[in-house]
């Protein structure tokens, strides 16, 4: 059976990938999006209940709401979406199209590719305590999926970066007691969040690490955590209900190595005139956290700008005579009918 060659295939369904999917639809490109996880949203799934304040034009939304909105927008032009599929390598064919090879063995074909893979496939760095994995089904967590679970409980958080501090601040008002253990002397989070933490009732145990977990009556839930102080070697045993570990993530970026793709080195130094979405392979572009260039914003807002750039470059690669930049959306014929419908709904709501 002959396989469809898409105009653009986006690898990664986080903010950069979803906005790329929207934008490529806007530029009338036949689009496919492939995501390793069985769900869309990328890294935002790590913080579904966190309030996000710093996206232009959006009043605070939770991570979960943002995923919903990003997904709705990303699917506006009905791209083909493949979930639960890992792209393992990319090769170029004689006619300059690309084949994307996958873990399942199903190949995908495309004229251009946008790498929106963030830091790669994310796997949380696990606690290095023998047997700790058996508690993962009960009360050892590597992400905070629902704040409600921690209400009225004694929680120990391990870590000292932004994520650990954000979680400590979110849990402080609802948990019975929050401990934070961090192996270093100084916390690494944003200043405002660290100040908030210091003013809260969270007990910060700096220069300490978890050395042992004890199960309740030898059972499958952690009952107490042993914390060692690095300065004097002393150990305290804390009784806890829940343990949250935020030691960062291991990133699977094998796709780039397997495919011999380098992010354009010029980008890192911000060489004037070099399109920032370019990679070392013509026809393969990049957007979002995977990029590193001077002034790159490793935030959701930054991912959107990168995505539009990458799509515009892909469009021009396929159709050199196409406009280098897309038009403002209000000038786009594709929205005329959609605008009419939205206005109809709005007036109907006002009349009610
Ligand atoms: C705890 C935390 C809080 C944050 N808070 C904020 C905030 O308040 N405001 C803000 O602006 N930013 C925040 N950020 C940063 C923001 O989440 C990222 O900048 C953003 O998600 C980057 O989007 P992306 O699409 O480039 O990458 P990602 O969101 O990482 O998405 C990449 C996707 O690609 C997929 N993928 C990777 N490799 C492959 C492959 N080989 N095959 C198939 N799929 C693949 C991954 O599974 C993933 O879904 C926060 C980050 C964290 C960790």
User: Measured from the CA of 255, which atom of ligand 1 is nearest?
Assistant: 41
The better pLDDT of the pair 259, 90 is held by 90
- Mean per-residue pLDDT for 331-335? 75
pLDDT at residue 122 in the model: 85
pLDDT at residue 273 in the model: 53
| Ligand 1 atom 21, closest CA | 43
Residue 266 pLDDT > 60: no
pLDDT at residue 2 in the model: 66
pTM: 0.79
The answer to whether 198 touches 174, Cβ cutoff 8 Å, is no
What is the pLDDT confidence band of residue 267, given thresholds at 50, 70 and 90? very low
35 is in an annotated binding site: yes
How remote is the CA of residue 291 from the centroid of ligand 1, in Å? 12
Residue 172 pLDDT > 50: yes
How remote is the CA of residue 41 from the centroid of ligand 1, in Å? 8
Q: Would you say the C-alpha torsion 294, 119, 298, 22 has a positive or negative sign?
A: positive
pLDDT tens-digit profile of 218-236? 568 999 999 999 999 999 9
What is the pLDDT confidence band of residue 194, given thresholds at 50, 70 and 90? very high
| Ligand 1 atom 26, closest CA | 288
- Mean per-residue pLDDT for 82-104? 96
User: Measured from the CA of 298, which atom of ligand 1 is nearest?
Assistant: 19
Residue among 89, 83, 47 nearest 299 (CA): 47
| Mean of the per-residue pLDDT values of the chain | 91
Q: Give the residue, out of 9, 10, 11, 12, with the most ligand 1 atoms within 8 A of its beta carbon, to mutate for a pocket test.
A: 12
Q: Would you say the C-alpha torsion 56, 165, 12, 62 has a positive or negative sign?
A: negative
pLDDT at residue 270 in the model: 45
On the CB side of 5, CA atoms within 13 Å amount to 11
What is the pLDDT confidence band of residue 323, given thresholds at 50, 70 and 90? confident
122 is in an annotated binding site: yes
| Ligand 1 atom 1, closest CA | 163
Q: Is 100 in the pocket of ligand 1 (CB under 6 A)?
A: no
Strand runs labelled E in the chain: 5-11, 31-34, 51-52, 61-62, 80-82, 87-92, 98-102, 108-115, 121-124, 140-141, 154-158, 177-182, 203-206, 208-215, 222-229, 235-239, 242-245, 249-252, 284-286
Q: Which two tokens stand for residue 187?
A: 């916390």
pLDDT at residue 265 in the model: 46
Q: Give the residue, out of 22, 44, 90, 113, with the most ligand 1 atoms within 8 A of its beta carbon, to mutate for a pocket test.
A: 44
Q: Give the residue, out of 14, 63, 81, 170, with the most ligand 1 atoms within 8 A of its beta carbon, to mutate for a pocket test.
A: 14
> Cα 163–293–111 angle (5° rounding)?
100
Residue 179 pLDDT > 90: yes
- Mean per-residue pLDDT for 126-155? 93
H/E stretch holding 340: helix 336-351
Q: What secondary structure, in 3-state letters, does 242-276 show?
A: EEEECCCEEEECHHHHHCCCCECHHHHCCCCCCCC
> Helix or strand or coil: residue 74?
helix
User: What ipTM goes with this model?
Assistant: 0.99
């Amino acid at each position: 059976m002959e396989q469809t060659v898409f105009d653009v295939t986006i690898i990664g369904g986080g903010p950069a990938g979803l906005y790329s999917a929207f934008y490529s639809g806007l530029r009338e490109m036949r689009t496919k999006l492939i995501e390793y996880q069985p769900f869309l949203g990328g890294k935002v799934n790590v913080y579904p209940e966190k309030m996000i304040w710093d996206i232009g034009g959006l009043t605070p939304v939770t991570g979960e709401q943002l995923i919903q909105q990003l997904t709705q927008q990303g699917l506006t032009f009905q791209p083909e979406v493949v979930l639960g599929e890992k792209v393992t390598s990319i090769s170029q064919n004689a006619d300059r199209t690309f084949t994307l090879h996958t873990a399942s063995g199903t190949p995908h074909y495309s004229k251009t590719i946008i790498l929106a893979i963030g830091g790669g496939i994310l796997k949380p760095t696990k606690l290095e305590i023998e047997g700790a994995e058996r508690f993962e089904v009960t009360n050892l967590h590597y992400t905070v999926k629902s704040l409600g679970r921690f209400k009225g409980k004694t929680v120990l958080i391990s870590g000292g970066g932004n994520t650990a501090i954000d979680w400590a601040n979110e849990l402080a008002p609802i948990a019975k007691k929050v401990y934070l253990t961090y192996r270093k002397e100084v916390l690494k989070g944003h200043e405002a969040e660290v100040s908030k933490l210091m003013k809260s009732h969270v007990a910060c145990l700096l220069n300490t690490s978890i050395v042992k977990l004890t199960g309740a009556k030898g059972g499958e839930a952690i009952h107490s955590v042993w914390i060692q102080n690095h300065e004097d070697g002393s150990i305290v045993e804390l009784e806890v209900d829940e343990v949250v570990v935020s030691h960062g993530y291991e990133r699977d970026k094998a796709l780039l190595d397997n495919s011999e793709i380098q992010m354009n080195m010029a980008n890192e130094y911000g060489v004037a005139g070099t399109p920032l979405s370019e990679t070392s392979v013509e026809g393969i572009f990049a957007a979002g956290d995977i990029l590193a260039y001077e002034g790159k914003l490793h935030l959701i807002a930054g991912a959107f700008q990168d995505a539009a750039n990458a799509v515009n470059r892909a469009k021009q690669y396929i159709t050199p005579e196409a406009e280098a930049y897309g038009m403002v959306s209000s000038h786009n014929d594709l929205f005329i009918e959609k605008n009419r419908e939205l206005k109809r709904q709005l007036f109907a709501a006002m009349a009610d």
